[in-house]
Amino acid sequence: MSESKLRDQSLEFAISVINLVKDLKSKHETIISNQIGRSGTSIGANIREAQYAHGKPDFIAIVNSL
């Protein structure tokens, strides 16, 4: 999968998650909406972190620290 396609898909997913969080918060479902928001929007950051790794050992160290 190309880098820009993966980036685009993670952005679209994050936008969908944010819209879901807004809907849940309007229904006063704050506890689950906060967790969904954090986990759903962190995907893009994790993808970028993996793409900028300096090689396989660095990537493995980053993944193991999560």
pTM: 0.69
Supply the pLDDT for residue 15: 95
- Per the listing, tokens 């193991």 go with 64
Name the average pLDDT for the chain: 85
For residues 13 and 43, the answer to whether their CB atoms sit within 8 Å is yes
Query: So where are the chain's domains?
Result: 3-65
Radius of gyration of the chain (CA): 15
Give the residue carrying structure tokens 């879901």. 20
Average pLDDT, integer, range 49-55 = 75
Tens-place pLDDT, residues 13-33: 999 999 999 999 999 988 899
The CATH superfamily label for domain 3-65 reads 23S rRNA-intervening sequence (1.20.1440.60)
Higher model confidence: residue 50 or residue 7? Answer: 7
* H and E: helices and strands count for the chain: 3, 0
